[in-house]
Chain A
Amino acid sequence: AQTVTQSQPEMSVQEAETVTLSCTYDTSESNYYLFWYKQPPSRQMILVIRQEAYKQQNATENRFSVNFQKAAKSFSLKISDSQLGDTAMYFCAFIFSGGSNYKLTFGKGTLLTVNP
């Protein structure tokens, strides 16, 4: 079974600074997808970024980028130029891309607070 671990329950950062959220996962599979979701106080789950395991290049989306280390099973999220609107719970998630397993496995989340 897949597991996703987020070792930082809470983090804080000053506005305009850079912060990195950690995520590790455990799987015996070689083909999978990884995601970072953001959940602001509104509770809406919003996809931040997605990474296919077969791609060596790290995904980027504007101020958000990942450091994907497949051998180490690590998938960290870097937020540059942090903004107050980035304050949210961030969840790392994994899905195996094969067979009949369509289930997304989530970590427990990291609460990020951006301070003015």
Chain B
Amino acid sequence: NAGVTQTPKFRILKIGQSMTLQCTQDMNHNYMYWYRQDPGMGLKLIYYSVGAGITDKGEVPNGYNVSRSTTEDFPLRLELAAPSQTSVYFCASSLVYNEQFFGPGTRLTVL
């Protein structure tokens, strides 16, 4: 099993550009999550999904959108990138209430 994979690993965006962060898991987990981690801070939940077609907002959803058309994939869309979105983004998946398995992260810089 590859576990949770994320692409790209690094990305630099200009202000106002858009991009999609990809996340795929091969563990057949229903629950998937997107977090951001700012320097020296813990993880903050952006969006989560409890199954295909079902998504909900976390703590910091503004400026982001998600979709979940399959169990395996949970892409995160950034529209109109802003410097405040410079962060490391982690995707995770889990069975309900169990440990969350994390991807390797995407380091995003918005200039």
* Chain A contacts to B: CB under 8 angstroms: 33, 35, 42-47, 50, 91, 95, 97, 102-104, 106-109
Contact = CB atoms under 8 A, between A and B. Distances in A.
Interface string B29-45: 00101000000111101
B104 A95 contact: no
Interface in B84-111: 88, 90, 92, 96-100, 102, 104-105
Contact of B41 (A33, A97, A102, A108): A108
Interface residues of B, number: 21
A64 to B, nearest CB: 14
Interface of B: 31, 33, 40-43, 45, 48, 50, 58, 88, 90, 92, 96-100, 102, 104-105
Residue of B43, B90, B104 ringed by the most chain A CB atoms within 10 A: B43
Nearest to A35: B99
18 contacts: A43-B88, A43-B105, A45-B102, A46-B102, A47-B100, A50-B99, A95-B97, A97-B97, A102-B48, A102-B50, A102-B97, A103-B48, A103-B58, A104-B33, A104-B43, A106-B42, A107-B42, A109-B42
